[in-house]
Structure formats: C-alpha cells, structure tokens
Structure 1
Amino acid sequence: MELYQLKTFIEVAQTGNLTEAAVKLHTSQPAASAHLKALESEVGFPLFYRTPKGMSLTEKGAKLLEESQKIIASIEGFRQIASDLRQDPVQSFRIGLNTDGELLRVSELVELMAERLPRVELHFLETKSEHFVADIQNNTISAGFYYGNQGSTSIHAIKLRTFRMAVVYPNTWNPPDEEAALDYFAGKPWVWTTQGCPFYKQSIDYFANRKVNPRKILYVDDEFLIGDLVQKEIGCSLLAEPIALRLAKENKVSMWSGLDLAIDLYFGFPKDKMADPIRQQIGNIIEGMWR
C-alpha cells in the first residue's frame, strides 16, 4: 500500500469524479484509476460505486476513508515535527486562498505580517471552499479563506464580508428591464458551479423558489475561467459581485445585480489550535483588516 494510492482514494472520495481528482493530483486519469484498482486489489473489496454520474463510496470505502485521512495527516504531522526540529527560527504558515488574491487583500496582509510577524514565512496555496475542512484536517493548510458556512464545529470561523452575487453575461446580449431580466436569463445557457461549491446549493434553492430552471450546459469551479467562458459567449453565470465588477470594468463581460442572493466570506483555522499565538495574531490581523 502506497501513500499516493491513499491520496488518490481521498481525492476521488472528495470530488466524486476520477478525472477531476486526477487534475488536482497532477496526474493522468489512467494513472489515478490504476492507483484505485491497486488499492482495491490489496484491501480485497470495492471502495466505490461507479456510475455514469460519478463515483460514490461503498459502505466499506467510507469506513476506510477516515483511516486514510488519519494516515495522511499523521505523515504531514511527522513532516511538520521534523521541520520544527531543524531549529529553523523562521516558522512556515500555509494560508489557503479560495479566490483572487486581490479580492482577499493578500498584498495588504503580507505587508502587515512583515511588520508584526517578521519571523513567520507565509506560503499561499490555491484551495477550494468545498475542500477547506478536509485541507485543514489533512494539515495541507494552517488556515485559510473560504466561502459559505462550512458548518464544522472544529473550525474557528471569522466572518469577513457578505458579497452580493451578480449575473455575468456576454457584452453582445441585450437583456430587458429589471422585471423581465430573470426570465430572460433563465432562457439562456448557463455556466454553473460544481456541486461541492458553496454557491451551488444557494443558487439552486434561489431559482427553485422562483420556479426558474436555468439551462446548465457546463459546470466550472474557477471564477476567472467562468469569466473567460462568458466572455467567449458560451453562456451566462453567477459570480461574487467584486469579481463581476472587475471583469465588467475590464469590458470582458456585462453584469446584472438584480438578484437577492449573497455569499459570505470567512477566514478560519482549527479550534484546537486557537491557543497557538501565531494563529491568534494572524486571525487578529485579518479581522482588523476587514473590520
């Protein structure tokens, strides 16, 4: 049993999709499939149900998932302890970024950190909101930004801002006035977020309550890729208003802000690490920035 097999197992369990997991693991789909088959051969039973819609854990697979995560977390913990034992006076701190660094005010954070915590070396990692809790538990990141209330009692969450959602659409489209705009966009093709994204359920519920059923043709989990697809007239989509405004100012898309729909931005880290002075100070810096 190899660590890369366990990492593939965990990633497929989180994404429910072999191809998406392979991309995140920076490997090929056949290689990821081979990792799973080898692991299933070793344990002696299937770990997933394979369907046209994706992959879901079997009952036995679900029981092994938690153990796999513990193993990976233990390895990461070992590496962290080994790093600490090198007696390097500079402490590394990994922050997950779920969206654009400009929106998250990363340059301001770096300046404040250099001033107040000069012996802390920041590492910024691109992460997804839907994977935030798992990334924290696996020790992939020390703390991070994420959209939507993750509902985890193990996370100390600092709410930073509530962003309105906006519809972004190609500049060539000509939507009607406010009252008829929603029906107009409902009849257009949509680039939708992936199922794990915090935008997903809120958006589905919002449109369902208004008896509107957007025609979804693509599922994408990257805000700026969505912007590129809209600019190429593939369809319209939903984005947090600051991102939509920036793309509109660059004349890449047009935007409509007539939705009563919003998403919350948080910064969080493990509750069991709240006594850690580094996390305390970084949390205070970020909370002060956004207050």
Structure 2
Amino acid sequence: MDLNQLRTFVTVAELGHVTRAAERLHLSQPAVTGQLKALEDELCVTLFDRTRGGMLLTGAGKLMLQEAEQALGHAQEVKNLALRMKDKVAGRVRLGTIIDPDFLRLGVFLKRLIETYPVIEIETRHGISGWVFASVAERELDAGFFLGPIEHAAMRGTKLTTVTYRIVGPTAWRGRLNCADWKALAAFPWVWTPRTSSHNSLVSRMFEENGISPARRVVVADQEASMVSMVSAGMGLTLMREDLAFAAEDDGRVAVWRGATLSNPLSFIFRAERSHDPLIEAMAGVIRSIWAPAATAEKSSNARVRGSIIASDRNDPKM
C-alpha cells in the first residue's frame, strides 16, 4: 500500500467515477483502476460497488475512507513539518484570479510574496469566481480569490474586504431609474452574467428577496468591461462594482440607481486540508499583510464617502 493508492481511492470516492478521478489525478483510466484493484487485493476487501451510475462505496469502503483521509492528512503534516524544519518554503502554486488585478492588489501581493519567499514558483489563472472556487475545490488550483460566501465544508478562506455593488443603467434612462422601485427595475431589460459568477448569485438573491424576477435578459456577459460597454450602449441594466459604477457615471457612460446597494465578501480561498500547508500559510500571511492596513483605511474612507453620497442622493431634485 502506498500514498498514491490511498489518494486514488479517496478521489474516486469523492467523485464517484473512475474517469473523473483519472482526469483530476492526471492519470489514465487503466492506471486508476489498477491502483484500486491493487489496494483491494492487499486489504482483502471490496471498496466499491461498480454500477452504471458510477462507483459506490461499500460498507467496508466507507470505513476505509475515513482512515485513508486521515493517513493522507498525516502524510501532509509530515511534509509540512519537514519544510518548516528546513526553514524553507518552496514549491509551485497555482493561483486563481478574478475581476481586475489592480483591485485585488495582485501585483503588490505577488511582488512581496516572491521577495519574501524567492523559491516559490507562481502560476496565475484568470476566470470568474465560481470557476475559481470549483477549481480550488477540485484541486486544479491551490488557492484563489473568490467573491461570495464560502458555503462548502471542505473549503476555508481569509476575508479581505467587503465589495459593494450598485445597479446601473444607460444614461438615457436616468429619469426612469431615479423613480424606479424594485418592480420597475424588474421590468427593464438586463445584462446578465453566467450562472457560476458572483454577480449572478448576488442579483438572483436580490430578485428573490424582493419577490420579483427580470422580465428579459438580453445578453450574458462575464467581463465587467464588456458589461459597462453594453449598458453604455443602451442594452439594459446590470450590477457593477461601486467604484467602477461611480467612475463610469462621472464619465457620462452610465446612470447609477440610488435605491440600494448590494455587497459580497472578497476572500482568499483554499482547501481546509491545506490550512497548515507552508505554501498556503505563506500566501495567506503575505496577503493579510497587504489588505489589513488598507482595510482599516478603506473602512474609514468609505464611511466619509458613503455619507456624502447619501446626502447627495437626498438632495438630488430628480429623486
């Protein structure tokens, strides 16, 4: 018995399919099947029932799964301890990024990380929040940035800040927006986002909580720059990060609805089993050092800015 066999067993148990497990482990399907058979032969137990729907754990398999997960966890702890004893954090990390790099402070983060841990190799992959979350959960990425609540027992995160959003529309619709309630908002056409995006879950929750649904979704877009362009062209309403919304309004590209704001936490996420991994600890420590002082200043600044916005909204003769 070796750790590779245990890792294969745990992955097949999690995914329920040999083919999917082979893809995640970057092995051939016969290799995965062979490792499972070798493990079953050595333990003299049947770990899975093979069905048309996939691989189902037997009673013995369920018991063995707990032990296998613990064994893999202990092995990782041994590896982590060895790295700490060497006082050296090294290795390759795959980092998932979202939205725009400046907002994430990505350049500052990566520069400080490399300066502090010069032998870490970093590969960044960009996508929407849902994709980053799924990729970290499936071990395709080591860590990443994520917008939204972390509702997965196997995942952990370090909250960096709360991101505020506004509903925006074409400038030509400003008058209609100023007097619109929730029902009126739903009647407008909407620039929608993919199901796995943070925008999608936030807007969907907004509609659900107010007992309404959008009358028409004219297009689905997954990039904020594209969404700004579509709204500016008069295609519909959408949700936009507050800093982008007010900047676009100042440029005369959109009109901001003042009726309400929405918010989502921005977090640095990773799998729970890697909470004490030196690579994860190194990244989390550096990113906290960058965001913590900024968050304090941002909170104070936001209080002043929001106050001026609210006062401006109330004194707006168009409201």
Q: Distance in 2 between matches of 1:137 and 1:210?
A: 32
Name the counterpart of 2:154: 154
Deviation string for 1:54-92 (max 9, x for gaps)?
xxxxxxxxx97743332122118xxxxxxxxxxxx9732
- Cross-structure match for 2:289: 288
Cα distance, 1:257 vs. partner? 4.2
SS of residue matched to 1:238: strand
2:24 matches 1:73: yes
Provide closer, same or farther for how the CA distance between residues 91 and 232 of structure 1 changes in structure 2, counting only shifts above 3 A.
Answer: same
Taking the TM superposition and a 5 Å limit, the aligned residue runs for 1:157-176 are 157-176=157-176
Task: Name the aligned partner's letter for residue 267 of structure 1.
Answer: F
2:269 corresponds in structure 1 to 268
Aligned residue for 1:213, secondary structure, equals coil
Partners of 1:190 and 1:214 within 8 A in 2: yes
Q: Does 1:229 align with 2:230?
A: yes
Counterpart in the other structure of 2:145: 145
Shift of residue 238, structure 1, vs aligned partner: 0.6
Where does residue 135 of structure 1 map in the other structure?
A: 135
1:214 aligned partner: 214
Q: CA deviation at 1:280?
A: 0.1
Q: Tell me which residue corresponds to 2:180.
A: 180
Shift of 1:95: 1.0
Matches within 5 A, 1:1-291: 66-75=17-26, 91-176=91-176, 178=178, 180=180, 182-215=182-215, 216-291=217-292
Q: Does the 8 Å CA contact 1:94/1:142 hold for their aligned counterparts?
A: yes
Farther off after superposition, 177-186 or 99-108 = 177-186
Counterpart CA distance in 1 for 2:251 and 2:179 is: 27
- The answer to whether the 8 Å contact 2:177/2:257 transfers is no
CA change 1:247–1:118 in 2 (3 A) is farther
Q: Which deviates further from its counterpart, 129-138 or 221-230?
A: 129-138
2:115 & 2:258 partners in 1: Cα distance?
Answer: 39
Deviation of 1:166 (Å): 0.6
Contact 1:103 1:242 in 2 (8 A): no
Range with bigger deviation, 148-157 or 214-223: 214-223
Greater percentage in helix: 2
Alpha-carbon deviation of 1:129? 1.5
What do the CA deviations read for 1:82-117 (whole angstroms, capped 9, x no partner)? Answer: xxxxxxx97322210121111111111122113212
1:198 CA drift (Å): 3.1
Where 2:172 maps in the other structure, the secondary structure is coil
Task: Tell me the secondary structure at the aligned position of residue 231 of structure 2.
Answer: helix
SS in 2 for 1:68: helix
Alpha-carbon separation, structure 1, partners of 2:196 and 2:230: 20
Q: TM-score, normalised by structure 2?
A: 0.60
Deviations 1:124-147 (A, max 9, x none): 111222123431244332110011
> Aligned partner of 2:194: which letter?
T
C-alpha change, 1:64 and 1:204, in structure 2 (3 Å) is closer
- Total equivalences in the alignment: 217
Amino acid at match of 2:24: A
SS at match of 1:239: strand
Cα contact 1:136–1:142 (8 A) shared by 2: yes
Distance 1:75 1:231 in 2: 44
Match of residue 85 from structure 2:
none
Match of 1:284, as an amino acid? G
- Identity among equivalent positions (%) equals 22
Provide the alpha-carbon RMSD of the alignment: 2.7
Q: Any conservation in 2 of the 1:96–1:143 contact (CA below 8 Å)? A: yes
The runs of 5 or more residues in structure 1 that have no matched partner are 1-62, 77-88
Which 4+ runs in 1 deviate beyond 6 A? none
Distance 2:19 2:90 in 1: 31
